[in-house]
Amino acid sequence: MWRVATVMCLTTLCVATAAATAEAAPQGAYITSFVQETATRAGVWVHSAAMNKNIKVFVLTPRHTTGPRPTLYLLDGAGARGEDSGWLEAGNAERYFADKDVNVVLPTGAYGTFYADWERRDPVVGKPMWETFLTKELPPLIDDRFDSTGSRAIAGVSMGGQAAFTIASQAPTLYKAVASLSGCPPVSSPEGEAYVRATLARAGADAGNMWGPVGSAGWRDHDPALHLDRFRGKKLYLYSGAGRLGPADMKRQVTPEEGLYQVVLAASATFEIATSTCSQRFAEDLHNAGLPFTDALQVVGTHHWYYWAKDLPRMWDSISPAL
């Protein structure tokens, strides 16, 4: 529970600020403020004791349903910066979930971190503790404030897709379903290591500060492919394109900030080829371990929100029965 110090309502906008004496969640986290931004979207600022900073989290709630609901955590890729969410800006999540009986949690600010607890401080990203935030600090606050049933799923795109499976392997009792869209779960594979290093390099961060040297215990501990038994009984979903350009890529509008059209397409194709190889390897691992999963691996598609937004309904239809 948390106590409100002040509440201000201006037309349809309400802001609630938690008192300094607010009762903290486990690990010392607490809600500092709450803004009902639209009828189906709230902006919630949460103080993370583990990271000693406030983090903005968007929470989507259905337009007309009441009563306890399950919760879906949707993680962003490495491209989301600041207090923005790709799921809102490009993933069509708010419109899609407006009539779904589920709370959807969209954390922001994890750019270049893989949502991990880092072993050492990095000159660029500091010492992120996202795994602690997502598995220990945030869930009790969300469950209490948004009338949750306590049933959860976690999914993500790209960096967030890998993180979804890693986090679920680290905290298996928290989630009943896990989904990766264009992620690379098996990080100990050569292509997985290369993918992680390339993703963090784009943010200027050093992967060695996250899990230590490649091949070390830190990498092995965070490789879902080495902990497959932790996924038994869960609903699993794997999506990836193959890096081949589709009709949608030919119609894409590229901004000057992104760069030349041909360069952007080439980068999108290259990243998706890498995640496709990783996802196919992980699919084989799941199959060999006798773990059922929804195989949504495609023969066309690049590393782009057009494909992830298009796949969102199929992903939700696949994992929602587990909740």
Q: Closest by alpha carbon to 187, among 264, 132, 116?
A: 116
Report the share of the chain in percent with pLDDT over 90.
69
> What would the pLDDT profile of 149-207 be if each residue is shown by its tens digit?
999 999 999 999 999 999 999 999 999 999 999 999 999 888 888 889 988 988 899 99
Query: Considering the entire predicted model, what is its pTM?
Result: 0.88
What's the pLDDT at 266?
66
Cβ-in-10-Å burial (0-12, 13-18, 19+) of 286 comes to buried
10: pLDDT strictly greater than 60: no
What's the pLDDT at 110?
94
> What would the pLDDT profile of 233-279 be if each residue is shown by its tens digit?
999 999 999 877 777 766 565 544 444 445 556 667 777 888 889 99
Kindly report which listed range (52-66, 259-273, 289-303) carries the lowest average pLDDT score.
259-273
> What would the pLDDT profile of 15-43 be if each residue is shown by its tens digit?
333 333 333 455 589 999 999 999 999 99
Q: Which residues of 19-51 are buried (b: 16+ CB within 10 A; e: fewer)?
A: eeebebbebebbbbbbebeeebbbbbbbbbbbb
What's the pLDDT at 7?
34
Kindly report which listed range (25-34, 110-119, 131-140) carries the lowest average pLDDT score.
25-34
Write the DSSP string, 296-321. Answer: EE-SS--SSHHHHHHHHHHHHHHHGG
Domain ranges for the chain, please list them.
Answer: 60-322
12: pLDDT strictly greater than 50: no
Report residue 8 as tokens: 């201000």
DSSP state of 20: T
Q: Closest by alpha carbon to 128, among 231, 69, 48, 236?
A: 48
Q: State in words which class domain 60-322 has.
A: alpha beta
